[in-house]
Structure 1
Amino acid sequence: MKVLTVLTSLFGAGLAANSTYYNPILPGWHSDPSCTQVNGTFFCVTSTFIAFPGLPVYASKDLVNWKLASHTWNHESQLPGLSWTTASQQQGMYAATLRYHQGTFYVICEYLGTPNGTVGVVFKSTDPFNDASWSDPVIFRPTKIDPDLFWDDDGTVYSATQTILLQTLDLTTGALGPINNIWNGTGGVWPEGPHIYKKDGYYYLLIAEGGTAQDHSVRMARAKSIGGPYTGYEKNPVLTARGTNEFFQTVGHADLFQDAAGKWWGVALATRSGPEYQIYPMGRETVLFPVTWNEGEFPIASTVKGKMSGWQLPAPTRDIPGNGPFVADPDVYDFPAGSTIPKHFLYWRVPKQGTFSTTAQGLQVVPSRNNLTGQMTPVELSGRQGLAFIGRRQTDTEFTFSVDLSFTPKQIGTEAGVTVFLTQFNHIDLAVIRTKCGLSLRYGAEAQSVSEPAPKSKTIPLPKEWRASGSMVRLEIHAGNRTHYTFSASRVGGDGQAIEGSKQVVSVASAKLVSGGTGNFVGSLVGVYATCNGAGSGTSCPAESGNAYFTRWRYTGEKQAISATEEVPSQLGHL
């Protein structure tokens, strides 16, 4: 692979005409983006499905340096009990729209997979940099997914949804008006993800079509009245990678917005897979493209590539409020007692209370009875009542992730370790486990609905000196190329450093194991977990299971793939 090491003149004085930047702007699992610009700051929301906290809002002043501002759904009491009723791996929060109107930010979304059907939600905030500012949702009951939010000039609020249905929406009560089927798209499957824009006397309707895989596309139509009739653009699709050899595939589910200078931009989801569509562990990511939208015409979108040339970017800055991390920043966390769990960490559903805490020994994880895969019944072993897993998105093609683990369980079968986690049915793990022979390393994977067979599990007894009282084990996941992960373990010395010569490579795993499969809507997380593998009763493990303690959590992005043959340093273009 060719590595680009010379920084393009991204921020120089000579950028009056065009700027260069790199896609994806939100790397890692950031699907179904919706964005807006308010007073020179750009805001985007993306889907989270059953992950929690849900619906992250990112902020940037330059379209390059993006900071996690808040999560719209950030405490369980906003939607009490909903998470634990959701059985499927890819239900939950689907395809939100973010809009700003008269001083208030709105995020409209739908939660799928509850016993009572789909739940429409509208969250509101006057301060998107503060989790606590997001309201409890106004509930509505849609019949289709992917809700848009649009205010007409007379103040009437509309929501458009899949297939493409238009209804008025009362933002106080959640009441929906009569259904009006305003457009059926151009004949492709799944016309969805609608957004409405009013410009030059027309209502422009943008939709996704063709499904969210390689036939994905962006189509547009327009009408003089919001209720139609809508006339499709004769040059549809406006944007697609369908039938091409582009590295960025599955391009679709777009949204359009203007910068402070009035220039138009678009965001969409895309997958860095090339036409082979075999290896894409980060799933669907957010890409940015410049748009030319002349008066009275349909917009013209630039083809999505890794290296883009577009309108002049705003001046680079990290001057963004809030305490969240920037997307491209490394993780350096030691979890001192009483410290806050990092804002970008995610759980798989709402966690059981008390499972995660920061202590004098680091991040304490109380093992769950259910393991990462779980089983259908009983429910307490399914993962639906608290999976003891916490992670962060894989945001780089090549990266190194490691943690130090202190773990001395007495219950046979209890384990704690690291994982590349796509869903409960697609993950790759390296753990310390108590066996009949003592503490051992266990490597294994779950690989459902992928072409790559799951590797055979292996258990390796820990060397005697590694099992000494107070010893710690460093577990590491390294992606040194686009196709494989290397799992290794080292003994940690009293100085907190890995002892030279102790590192053992346990296994190398294909990224195909966590590409698509049962998680074709999501993307891989890397993180830690603990489980007693079914011992105990109810949702509790036996006391002999002990707790796992993780310190020295490190994630460092190294390279980003931007084409089939090119990679750039992960920090390229970022402040």
Structure 2
Amino acid sequence: MLVPARLENGWFYLGEDRAVLPEFTVEHAPAEEIPAGYAACSAVTDDFRGDSLHLMWNYIYNPVEGLIQQTASGLQMHGNEVSLWEDAPKAWLGRRQEHFCCTVEADLHFIPQQEGEEAGLTVYMNPAHHYEIARTMRDGRDCVILRRRIGGLCAVEQVLPYSDETMTLRLECNRDRYRFSFRTADGTVQPVGSGETQYLTTEAGGCFTGNYIALYASGNGKPMTTTATFTRFSYQPEAE
């Protein structure tokens, strides 16, 4: 459960008079005092041009200098050797999935330069349970992939050739499925595939903190030789 907390003389105090009650009445900032774009559970579009990251973003593990940078040209990720399924710091920046039904888009500028390095958009529960659409290089060819990891099972379920520098990654969520696609530079939308939501749940994955929708980059065994730049992220709730 959530309880009120306050910081006093360097110590955190929880509850009221050192007690956790069945119910609490707490004060909160009026809606008009909340900065624009920071309201909870709302649609948001981030172009990464502010002085600091939007409050919705979370790192995974402790941030490592040089992996993620907010610049005038966008959010730059220079992935290290750590893959998404490894339990170690990585170039990963996520926001919680707050709605069963929502649409997410991310504009990506990236051309892989070595085998296996990738950048993309992932629905992430934990290192052993996640789905992602990514731009990468496989067998010396530029491509877009859909990969799903469910426990010890991992499969690249789609590989589509792609050579342009820019693309828009797209994720559509409902109660049953996560659907992935991308939009090319000329506006063409290409479906890539989908995955069941049931495998990214407490019953399957063992976690209780819910799923994240995250931007990431990885060299998958080697530090990346180039930088992936995300210039826009959009999260739009949909009616159920």
TM-score over 0.5 for the alignment? yes
Instruction: Give the 3 Å change call, closer, same or farther, for CA 355–257 of structure 1 in structure 2.
Output: same
Q: CA deviation at 1:439?
A: 1.0
Superposition map of 1:421-570 within 5 A: 421-448=124-151, 456-462=156-162, 467-468=163-164, 471-479=165-173, 481-493=174-186, 499=187, 502-516=188-202, 517-535=204-222, 541=223, 545-559=225-239, 567=240
Measured against aligned partners, the alpha-carbon deviations of 1:307-339 in whole angstroms (never above 9, x if no partner) come to xxxxxxxxxx51235677111221211123x63
Percent identity over the alignment?
A: 24
Give yes or no for contact 2:107–2:230 (8 Å, CA) kept in 1: yes
TM-score (norm 1): 0.39
Give yes or no for contact 1:426–1:518 (8 Å, CA) kept in 2: yes
Give yes or no for contact 1:400–1:557 (8 Å, CA) kept in 2: yes
Cross-structure match for 1:365: 77
The answer on 1:352 being equivalent to 2:39 is no
Counterpart of 1:474 in structure 2: which amino acid? T
Instruction: Give the 3 Å change call, closer, same or farther, for CA 196–357 of structure 1 in structure 2.
Output: closer
Cα separation, 2, equivalents of 1:484 and 1:529: 21
Give yes or no for contact 2:47–2:232 (8 Å, CA) kept in 1: yes
Give yes or no for contact 1:372–1:424 (8 Å, CA) kept in 2: yes
Q: CA deviation at 1:344?
A: 1.5
Measured against aligned partners, the alpha-carbon deviations of 1:343-396 in whole angstroms (never above 9, x if no partner) come to 11011111211221122321101112111101xxxxxxx41xx21110111111
Superposition map of 1:302-317 within 5 A: none
- The root-mean-square deviation of aligned C-alpha atoms, in Å, is 2.7
Q: CA deviation at 1:259?
A: 6.7
Cα separation, 2, equivalents of 1:404 and 1:125: 43
Counterpart of 1:475 in structure 2: which amino acid? L
2:25 maps to which of 253, 258, 263: 258
Cα separation, 2, equivalents of 1:491 and 1:427: 24
Cα separation, 1, equivalents of 2:120 and 2:26: 44
Cα separation, 2, equivalents of 1:417 and 1:259: 40
Note the residue ranges of structure 2 that are not aligned, 5 or more in a row: none
SS at match of 2:198: helix
Superposition map of 1:149-548 within 5 A: 149-151=15-17, 158=18, 195-197=19-21, 255-258=22-25, 318-321=31-34, 325-336=38-49, 339-374=51-86, 382-383=87-88, 386-448=89-151, 456-462=156-162, 467-468=163-164, 471-479=165-173, 481-493=174-186, 499=187, 502-516=188-202, 517-535=204-222, 541=223, 545-548=225-228
Q: CA deviation at 1:454?
A: 5.8
Give yes or no for contact 2:158–2:193 (8 Å, CA) kept in 1: no
Cα separation, 1, equivalents of 2:72 and 2:26: 46
SS at match of 1:319: helix
Q: CA deviation at 1:458?
A: 2.7
SS at match of 1:476: strand
Note the residue ranges of structure 1 that are not aligned, 5 or more in a row: 1-31, 36-97, 99-104, 106-123, 127-134, 139-146, 152-157, 159-194, 198-254, 261-316, 375-381, 494-498, 536-540, 560-566, 568-575
TM-score (norm 2): 0.88
Counterpart of 1:430 in structure 2: which amino acid? I
SS at match of 2:106: strand
Off by >4 Å, runs of 4+ in structure 1: 147-150, 321-324, 453-456
Cα separation, 1, equivalents of 2:148 and 2:45: 27
SS at match of 1:533: coil
Give yes or no for contact 2:122–2:214 (8 Å, CA) kept in 1: yes
Instruction: Give the 3 Å change call, closer, same or farther, for CA 125–398 of structure 1 in structure 2.
Output: farther
SS at match of 1:258: coil
Instruction: Give the 3 Å change call, closer, same or farther, for CA 149–476 of structure 1 in structure 2.
Output: same
Q: CA deviation at 1:478?
A: 0.4
Counterpart of 1:521 in structure 2: which amino acid? F
Measured against aligned partners, the alpha-carbon deviations of 1:139-187 in whole angstroms (never above 9, x if no partner) come to xxxxxxxx95552xxxxxx5xxxxxxxxxxxxxxxxxxxxxxxxxxxxx
Cα separation, 2, equivalents of 1:438 and 1:196: 58
Q: CA deviation at 1:482?
A: 1.0
Instruction: Give the 3 Å change call, closer, same or farther, for CA 410–441 of structure 1 in structure 2.
Output: same
Cα separation, 2, equivalents of 1:125 and 1:489: 49
Cα separation, 2, equivalents of 1:519 and 1:389: 21
Instruction: Choose between structure 1 and 2: higher strand proportion.
Output: 2
Cα separation, 1, equivalents of 2:8 and 2:166: 44
